[in-house]
Structure 1
Amino acid sequence: MSTCLFDSFPVELVHNIFHYLWAHEIFYGFARLSSYIDNVLVGYDRYSISLSSMLKHQFDLMCLHTRPEQVISITLVENNDTPNQSEMFFSKFDILQFINLRSFSIISSNQSIFRQLNLLCRLNNFQSLTLPHISDTYWCLFGSSVETTLPRLKQLITRDYPLMEPLNNMKYLTITHCYCHNLEYLLSQMTNLYSLNITLSLNMSTHWSRKVPMMNHLRQLTLCIQYGRLTMEKMHKFLLKMPCLMHFELRIDDPMDFVVGDQWKVWSQSSEIDIEEAKDIIDGNQWKYLVSHLQTFDFHFCLADRLNKQILDSFRSSFWLTQKRWFVAYDDLQSSSSLFTVPRFAPKNIIYLLNYDTPSCTSSDLCLDQYVDILNLPTLRPLMHHFINVTSLILQTDKDLCLDRILPYLALPQLKSFSLVNTSLLTQLSTETRFESIRSLTIDTLEIKFHAEQICIVFPRIERLKIGISDQETMLLLIDRLKHLSLVTFVYPQPSMFTNITYEWFVENSSRFKEKKNFTCNINKVEIHLWISVEE
């Protein structure tokens, strides 16, 4: 192993880099770079494992290098792309080997994963738990384990909140659904919270904001309104209960409609409560008095109506632009119009229509196109914007495909993923053309075997493939020819089309699997999922 740039970095600096990466990314990117870095890997004791949609050889490498006592976090994600991943991991490691485990996250409904909950209470350093929605059946099986673990937790992320007693140790709480009338009881059980992330459904006739207990230790609040109307009056009363709040993020996902005049008077009389002017919630002058003490304030408001760009005027004062440097944008060209702070809520997934224009912003220095990550094309239009950081291109049409127009998109500097309706476009590409940066390919329908051969030539470094396919021979061609292929989904045009296909069938018929059987598969009536190891 030759020396590398990282050999000149202090151990502490390399460790700080590792803090931002999952364990499989660290081992794949840094193992065997140099003897110095290998020693740094051995000495690092804050690995976080995420069992998600990773490549099979990265999983194998992670399992090879992982020392359980150096792992502090495990996340389990249910994913059809990686058949039997969790089972394979726990066949290699016992959860009790992770003696320094602090955090355990379940984003799955797999009962075998939930069984690990019964053992977590035996780990001395355990303090953070993430749970999905727990069905009554699962709660009967594993509820006692959760109840035993809750009092020691410092962090909880869940949809349910089965709180039977105060949790004085709780510092960080995320609740993904809560009715406003339950908020008082919920927060009264955890008065020492430092951070709260909660999604609320509101009822205007309740006084939920007044009944919330004082949260004197709260420094960070993320509030999402999933349903119902939030008024400035209630927002003001709510924030008064958090005198030490420093960081606030607000999302209103229920589109706000702004009716004014007599209609509001009618609503006010019928509900027997005071209903203020709705536009206050999107008025920067009103917000100024509520959030002036904060270090950070971000918001995203979905709007039912399309408003003009003057909506930004109240956010152009010196308070917003100079004192706080909080910048706001308005977008009325996507599926619903919205008002939001940037860069926090700059659109990352856009529909690139013919009339697309970059959202209006209170800062002329911010180019919002640079934040776009996913580009959807309902029609193939000329590329007129600088989407320099787009990683995924989704071509939603097979009409009027012109090679001169599609090539600029395929040349985007960060493009890694390409999705198209069918393979007709491939007939226009020369066999000398290579798009080696494309690592993920999705094709709704593969028409003929020749197109599969074109895929192998034009996209030779594909690692992830999802494709509609109608014959077994083409399936084998793609597996054997695409040497970097690791995650594969074959979709049948008709249910139960390949009833004869099994794990053994792949071993017998694929030259790649005859040589090495390091793969798993999941076969159902509509899809085949393969997770394949790749020799590096």
Structure 2
Amino acid sequence: MATNNHTPSICTLPVELIYRILDTLDNETILFSFGYTCKRFQTIIHTYNQYKLSFKLISKRYFHLICHSIHPENIISLTLSNNKQTPDQIKCFLSIFSIQQFIRLRSLTLNKIDEDDFYTIFQFRNTISSLSFTFLKSTLQNSQTISLLSSIISNKNLRYLDFNLSPKDLLWSNQCLLQTLIISNTLNFTQFSTIISNLLLLKKFVLQDCIIHKNDIIDCSIRYLPLISLSFNDSKLNMDNCELLLCLFPLLEHFHIVGGDYFFDGFRWEKLIQKNLLKLKKFEFAFCGNTSMLWTNSNDIESLITPFRTPFWIEYKQWFVVCCYFIDTNNYTLYSLPICKSNNILSQNPFFRKLNALSLCVENEWPTGSTEYLSTFINLSSIRELSISIDLENEYVLDKLTNITNLLNQLYNLQSLRIDNCLTSAEIIRLLVPNHVKYLRTVVPDIDDMKFIIEQLTHLSSITFEIFGKMKYFLEDFLTWLMETRINSTYRYDDQFLSMWLGKINN
């Protein structure tokens, strides 16, 4: 009797299962590893149509390799960025592709986009359901941009919108089908009420704050039933106005607020929630305050947290609250667990093991054992960005450099490094920057030092230099040298900073 001796292999899996595997892999692995395994896989990666491309942090080399390897019709999510690590990336991308080629694109993120490029992308109708963007300049330069934004908002395909402009003058049509709106800005109550009155399907609303003036009238008889999630990321509201606002959303299931000491009354929160927010399942908050005198008695701190330890908080809702008091500044923070993500809290609370960005300032002697101490409350392997400000004018220079080098070697997932000291020589920078770092921001005394760093640190994908004094008079010659030395580099010079996305080395 014949037997089948074929050994099961990934190469013989149905293409549908291969697609599921590709869903879990990053694009570089799919295009430059998986696709080169065999001819069948090479064919499959060109028919796979669920690519999610993010060019936010990428070398110029891989950017061009990916752009020349993908089929635009297979992309469903795209992130482009003109940040300091990748200046002029969006314009470069649009020189290769027309946005009309991305017929399956559903999610688009544009970081620091120029208004002209924004118009280029959105001059045609699209089927994007998720859009996030920030503009390169803080104020709009083209009067037509507001009209374009209003038309984008009214697009019936759009369900998710995240932007950082003031919503002033934007038109919010009641035909809009947005379900999630994130505005990294502060609104007045008129703007706030206009949005929630017109966006009839809005379920999640995130903003910095809502300003309520004395003459604003809040009609608590009106109810906005669709909204189930509301967030204020940096609120200056007082408790009275906050309570009035929350009365408008009786079906709220999630509320997030970061604010000041107006909100420390746990008994009042308990009463408000039991009366007006019966559906609330998740309450995330962080309230920061300052004492006029030094607290030395733990009872003072206990008095803040006691109202949040009633059976309502602990047993019924199972919402747990922590209070941190900082003796050196007399600041205190009351926050829910798990801690809500906010810059206001990260700057004051040291107990984090999954920080991805760290800033260090060392003025005098590097403290003995400080690296080991850091590792007790920070997982050093999670750090992706590091900023170091060091004083190299005293007798502790060698000690500092030794300890910084030791620290950098332990940050083996570090991608971005910032060194702030105008007296740091190019040779010291060369010695400090490890090979796994891809993005460097620093300041050097002159143009020759800039050239030296670019020539020596060839593993860097991008560099930002601070330009000061007479250096700006030599920039034109430097940029000519750059284009000859690193082919197809792009750069942006603004606010005394020169950012370069480095191209191929010209051998």
The answer to whether the superposition gives a TM-score over 0.5 is yes
- How far residue 397 of structure 1 moved from its aligned partner, in angstroms, is 2.4
- Measured in 2, the distance between the counterparts of 1:69 and 1:392 equals 36
- Say if 1:502 and 1:256 are closer, same or farther in 2 by CA, change over 3 A: same
- Say if 1:324 and 1:32 are closer, same or farther in 2 by CA, change over 3 A: farther
- Measured in 2, the distance between the counterparts of 1:348 and 1:287 equals 27
**TM-score (normalizing by structure 1):** 0.72
- Measured in 1, the distance between the counterparts of 2:133 and 2:369 equals 49
- The 5-angstrom pairing of residues 102-181 of structure 1 reads 102-108=106-112, 110-121=114-125, 123=126, 125-130=127-132, 132=134, 137-140=141-144, 143-144=147-148, 146-147=150-151, 150-152=154-156, 153-158=158-163, 159-160=166-167, 162-163=170-171, 165-175=173-183, 176-181=185-190
Counterpart in the other structure of 1:520: 490
- How far residue 92 of structure 1 moved from its aligned partner, in angstroms, is 0.8
Deviation digits for residues 451-495 of structure 1 (CA, Å, limit 9, x no counterpart): 244235xx2332111111113443333223223211111223425
- Measured in 2, the distance between the counterparts of 1:466 and 1:331 equals 34
Deviation digits for residues 481-513 of structure 1 (CA, Å, limit 9, x no counterpart): 2232111112234252533534331355x5xx3
Equivalent residue for 1:338, pick from 330, 333, 342: 333
- How far residue 525 of structure 1 moved from its aligned partner, in angstroms, is 8.1
Is residue 201–residue 228 contact of structure 1 (8 Å, CA) maintained in 2? yes
Equivalent residue for 2:365, pick from 382, 395, 400: 400
Is residue 81–residue 113 contact of structure 2 (8 Å, CA) maintained in 1? no
**TM-score (normalizing by structure 2):** 0.75
- The 5-angstrom pairing of residues 1-80 of structure 1 reads 11=18, 14=21, 17=24, 26-34=26-34, 35=37, 42=46, 44-80=48-84
More divergent stretch after superposition (126-135 vs 238-247): 126-135
1:227 aligns to what SS in structure 2? coil
Is residue 430–residue 457 contact of structure 2 (8 Å, CA) maintained in 1? no
Counterpart in the other structure of 1:189: 198
- Say if 1:73 and 1:417 are closer, same or farther in 2 by CA, change over 3 A: closer
Is structure 2 residue 434 aligned with structure 1 residue 441? no
- Measured in 2, the distance between the counterparts of 1:185 and 1:420 equals 45
- Say if 1:192 and 1:141 are closer, same or farther in 2 by CA, change over 3 A: closer
Deviation digits for residues 114-158 of structure 1 (CA, Å, limit 9, x no counterpart): 21354242x2x2334445589565233561563366152333334
- Measured in 2, the distance between the counterparts of 1:238 and 1:519 equals 51
Counterpart in the other structure of 2:310: 317
Equivalent residue for 2:431, pick from 454, 460, 479: 454
- The 5-angstrom pairing of residues 203-282 of structure 1 reads 203-208=213-218, 210=220, 213-224=222-233, 226-231=235-240, 234-252=241-259, 255-256=260-261, 279-280=264-265
- Measured in 1, the distance between the counterparts of 2:303 and 2:43 equals 58
Counterpart in the other structure of 1:377: none
Deviation digits for residues 40-81 of structure 1 (CA, Å, limit 9, x no counterpart): 754553444445343333423432333222223444444233
Counterpart in the other structure of 2:440: 465
- Measured in 1, the distance between the counterparts of 2:201 and 2:495 equals 51
- Measured in 1, the distance between the counterparts of 2:251 and 2:172 equals 27
- How far residue 178 of structure 1 moved from its aligned partner, in angstroms, is 1.8
- How far residue 200 of structure 1 moved from its aligned partner, in angstroms, is 0.9
Q: Structure 1: which 5+ runs fail to align?
A: 19-25, 258-277, 359-367, 374-390
- Say if 1:43 and 1:309 are closer, same or farther in 2 by CA, change over 3 A: farther
- The 5-angstrom pairing of residues 378-527 of structure 1 reads 391-402=356-367, 404-406=369-371, 409=374, 412-422=380-390, 424=392, 427-428=398-399, 435=409, 437=412, 438-445=414-421, 446-455=423-432, 459-495=434-470, 496=472, 498-507=474-483, 510=485, 513=486, 517-523=487-493, 526-527=496-497
- Measured in 2, the distance between the counterparts of 1:83 and 1:202 equals 39
- Say if 1:339 and 1:279 are closer, same or farther in 2 by CA, change over 3 A: closer
Q: Which one-letter code corresponds to 1:244 in the other structure?
A: L
- How far residue 89 of structure 1 moved from its aligned partner, in angstroms, is 0.4
Equivalent residue for 2:86, pick from 72, 82, 85: 82
2:226 aligns to what SS in structure 1? coil
- Say if 1:41 and 1:178 are closer, same or farther in 2 by CA, change over 3 A: farther
Counterpart in the other structure of 2:297: none
2:286 aligns to what SS in structure 1? strand
- Measured in 2, the distance between the counterparts of 1:164 and 1:416 equals 39
- Measured in 2, the distance between the counterparts of 1:488 and 1:136 equals 27
Q: Structure 2: which 5+ runs fail to align?
A: 1-8, 293-299
